[in-house]
Structure 1
Amino acid sequence: MKKLLLWLSALSLLMAATAAAVTWLNLRDEVDVRVPVAAITPGDSLIARGAYLARAGNCISCHSARGEPSYAGGRPIDTPFGTVYSSNLTPDEKTGLGSWSPAHFWRAMHNGRSKNGRLLYPAFPYPNYTQVTREDSDALFAYFGSLPAVERARTPNVLRFPYDSQAALAIWRALYFKPGVYETDKQRSAEWNRGAYLVRGLGHCAACHTARNALGASSEALDLAGGLIPMQNWYAPSLSSPHEAGVGDWDRQHIVALLKTGVSPRASATGPMAEVVLRSTQYLSDADLGAMAQFLKELTPPAITAMAAVQAAPAAQASVLARGAKLYEQHCAQCHGEQGRGVPQAYPALAGNRAVTMAQSANLMQIVLNGGYAPATAGNPRPFGMPPFVLELSDGDIAAVLTHIRQSWGNRAGVVTPLEVNRMRASGTR
């Protein structure tokens, strides 16, 4: 009995110490909203700056539900743990930010905590937004305060146990979240630092372009090294690897063109990236786009990517390649050309295209199944597009034609199987 009591005492002490550690880790660098600060006068210039920053952060995409007023929230965001609904950013006193102070908003951005102290789910990308400066946070708050107030109560999240508890979220944050602000790299230029701030902070590019673990956390060691976007089944390619979407050897103006218009001589934006260009990057200044381009050009590939050699995949069966070639001639050659060379500014070349030869083939299956367009932007108002073949081609047909494309004209990528296509079709996502 004495030994049992000792074990129970030790267990109690361990639990108390763990709870204290989790509490401390969740209160690191906590913004004290009780401290009075000088009043902010939301003049036109501050509001305009906030509007620009809101576009840089693409806030409208998540905080606007279809058919509802902009920034009124309510958009469902599917995660592997359930559905999170975005909040109302309009200045409504009851349901929006009308009763918030700039300090409350800064704490949400910096610490991931709501006005009432509730921990926020990282579907709101505060692990990235924590790098945003207080000045930019205040400008965003001024802009949201200038919007028409919309009364729209927050839709409750629908999450599975134990992910629906604040305790579980506190443990997650203790393990994976550390508040901080962007620290200037003094070894780099001011332009590079501006680009890093936009990409890693407001742009929260790592939210998609970095792989996540089973608990939905991403690793800084693989920052921007590519990852499958949860629940969407689109692969956000590595922005550092020359074998995926790295732009180290691109002309700077081509990177700017891609972010500004959605198309460039080297690539075009489709899938989730098309929405980013449509709602966000096309509105950024050439100076900021140039800064982002400079940062992306100088990204160093992680060791795991840099050391990976691109090896020719084993050739597919002759019957599969013959079937794919016939299907390509019937459905694809008219636009992409018999030799996969495409048409400049219209239909992308498939020969030597990294989007075709990447080891991850999810995006190819998505585009063939569901079609896709580059975004309609001021610089490219009538983009050419890809029709969907989800009702026209079978799983075996799509697997064969993609395998043919991945193993023709010098491409040496792996086989796509009917099972992979079937899984993508069954997911029903775009």
Structure 2
Amino acid sequence: MKRAIIVTVIAGLIGLAMFLIPVDPPPEAKEQSMTKTDNIVQRQARGAYLAQVGNCMGCHTMQGGQPYAGGHSLATSIGTFVTPNITPDQETGIGRWSEDDFWRALHDGKGRNGSPLYPAFPYTEYTKITREDSNAIFAYLQSLPPIQQRNPPNRINFPFNLRPLIYVWRAFYFEQGIYQPQAAKSDEWNRGAYLVQGLGHCNACHTARNPFGASQGNILGGGQLMGSNWYAPSLTSLQEASTADWPIEDIIELLTTGLSYRAVATGPMADVVSQSLQHLTSDDARAMAVYLKSLPETDPHSRGVAPPLTEEVDKLLQRGGELYETHCQDCHGNLGQGAPGAYPALTGNRGIMLASPINAIRSILNGGYAPVTIGNPRPYGMPPFAQVLHDEEIALVLSYIRNAWGNRGTLVSAVQVDRSRKGAQ
């Protein structure tokens, strides 16, 4: 009897152990689980890359703030917009959003509740993004740590604060649609076009805007940056920033390091290179370069009327030359030749001779700094002269630079410098 009880107890324990000991799932189930996890990780990694290419952090992070938590102010012609929190916080971010909601924002320009978004969010360009890339970016954003940050509301001027007017704006200025590859072009060219036109939203800065904030004129033909005292030069004019006559490798170098012997990225473009373009894969950098080089040339942009070399003008330029010798010559050279890899040449510099001297004035006032990148970790920079030179002196030295060594440009006035110093448009 005892032996029967012991056998029964042992059998019961064995049976209980069968329930308690984990049993490996079938190999097929394990493989499917691992594949699903791998796919999620890969999608998030791809989304992280695409978010960098699109420079999402550049807008959705305020200075000194938490990444992607928003709070950055964007001044426009119709008011000031404050970028939203796009971390997965349930209350103040996009934690309750779905892939469909995110796609609707990028592709349709509509919020989670279906209401139209203001085009300060560049959905006019993001509409070209594929659904696959949209899902990848969303997966990445959802993988971020949620940050609870409730940002202040937008401050939109009347009558543009009347949201129904957005429907009118969209009817005139919004063309929805994913990028359609051109069959006559190479895969590389189409990839570059997709990045420049869509994810990179280059048009948002490098195209002029009308008073309603819509792009006007030639696409990528240059324009004043919204809410910023900077001019984004034309990418289609050889008088400005077209790279049609550049070797591909030089374009790649400028995009990914911010510096080539032909040009240096400064101001807002330096931030774009630092935060976004330097992270391009070699294939994507080449694709963008191929596309940018192929852009058709537009009509020459006027550089304004250079002054007649009268005795009075000659005296002004002579005074500017003396200032140049004192403050600029050590780095930029006695003939404006610069130093390759360090200080840009001023002779024949298209950025110096733009019709509007606004960028050059800003660089002298605030200093000119190339971006810190992996390919150029310790860039040389120009110190700010805002406290060293007064408005008339800056106008004189810049007038000299724009008319020395074969350069021919308009004279710069102290009034123009004063406006830039105060941040006026």
TM-score after normalising by structure 1: 0.87
Equivalent residue number for residue 409 of structure 1: 405
User: 1:212-258: per-residue Cα shift (whole Å, max 9, x none)?
Assistant: 11111103x51001111122111111111111111111111111111
Aligned residue for 1:248, secondary structure, equals coil
Aligned residue for 2:133, secondary structure, equals helix
Equivalent residue number for residue 346 of structure 2: 350
Cα shift at 1:123: 1.3
Cα shift at 1:311: 7.8
CA–CA distance in structure 1, aligned partners of residues 65 and 362 of structure 2:
28
Gaps of 5+ in 1: 1-39
Root-mean-square deviation (CA), in Å? Answer: 1.6
Paired residues of 1:64 and 1:74 also in contact (CA < 8 A): yes
Cα shift at 1:396: 1.0
User: 1:321-349: per-residue Cα shift (whole Å, max 9, x none)?
Assistant: 11101110111001101110011111111
CA–CA distance in structure 1, aligned partners of residues 396 and 127 of structure 2:
46
Paired residues of 1:199 and 1:205 also in contact (CA < 8 A): yes
Which residues of 2 match residues 311-350 of structure 1 at below 5 A?
Answer: 313-315=306-308, 317-350=313-346
Alignment partner of 1:218 out of 215, 218, 243? 215
The code of the aligned residue for 2:325 comes to E
**Cα distance change, pair 83–309 in 1 and its aligned pair in 2 (3 A):** closer
Which residues of 2 match residues 255-294 of structure 1 at below 5 A?
Answer: 255-294=251-290
Equivalent residue number for residue 174 of structure 1: 171
Which residues of 2 match residues 174-213 of structure 1 at below 5 A?
Answer: 174-213=171-210
Equivalent residue number for residue 154 of structure 2: 157
Alignment partner of 1:53 out of 47, 50, 53? 50
User: 1:292-340: per-residue Cα shift (whole Å, max 9, x none)?
Assistant: 00000000023xx24x577862236122111101110111001101110
Cα shift at 1:170: 2.0
CA–CA distance in structure 1, aligned partners of residues 195 and 337 of structure 2:
34
The question of 1:389 aligning with 2:382 is answered no
Equivalent residue number for residue 234 of structure 1: 230
Equivalent residue number for residue 22 of structure 2: none
Aligned residue for 2:260, secondary structure, equals coil
The code of the aligned residue for 2:63 comes to R
Of 376-385 and 310-319, more deviation after overlay is shown by 310-319
Paired residues of 1:225 and 1:301 also in contact (CA < 8 A): no
Tell me the number of residue pairs that the alignment of Structure 1 and Structure 2 aligns: 386
User: 1:335-384: per-residue Cα shift (whole Å, max 9, x none)?
Assistant: 10111001111111100111111212110010011112100111111111
The question of 1:90 aligning with 2:87 is answered yes
The code of the aligned residue for 1:404 comes to Y
CA–CA distance in structure 1, aligned partners of residues 272 and 303 of structure 2:
29
The code of the aligned residue for 1:104 comes to D
Alignment partner of 2:116 out of 76, 98, 119? 119
User: 1:255-308: per-residue Cα shift (whole Å, max 9, x none)?
Assistant: 111111111121111000000000000001010000000000000023xx24x5
CA–CA distance in structure 2, aligned partners of residues 233 and 64 of structure 1:
21
Cα shift at 1:66: 2.2
Alignment partner of 2:250 out of 236, 239, 254? 254
Gaps of 5+ in 2: 1-35
Cα shift at 1:45: 0.5
The code of the aligned residue for 2:103 comes to W
User: 1:109-133: per-residue Cα shift (whole Å, max 9, x none)?
Assistant: 0111110122211111100000001
CA–CA distance in structure 2, aligned partners of residues 59 and 106 of structure 1:
15
The code of the aligned residue for 1:272 comes to P
**Cα distance change, pair 374–310 in 1 and its aligned pair in 2 (3 A):** closer
CA–CA distance in structure 2, aligned partners of residues 67 and 213 of structure 1:
32
Which residues of 2 match residues 35-114 of structure 1 at below 5 A?
Answer: 43-114=40-111
Paired residues of 2:78 and 2:157 also in contact (CA < 8 A): yes
Cα shift at 1:421: 1.1
Bigger radius of gyration, 1 or 2?
A: 2
CA–CA distance in structure 2, aligned partners of residues 198 and 182 of structure 1:
10
**Identity over aligned residues, as a percent?**
51
CA–CA distance in structure 2, aligned partners of residues 376 and 399 of structure 1:
29
The code of the aligned residue for 2:337 comes to R
The code of the aligned residue for 2:306 comes to A
Equivalent residue number for residue 147 of structure 1: 144
The code of the aligned residue for 1:289 comes to A
Equivalent residue number for residue 421 of structure 2: 425
The code of the aligned residue for 1:217 comes to A
Paired residues of 1:315 and 1:407 also in contact (CA < 8 A): no
The code of the aligned residue for 1:212 comes to R
CA–CA distance in structure 2, aligned partners of residues 147 and 300 of structure 1:
41
Cα shift at 1:156: 0.7
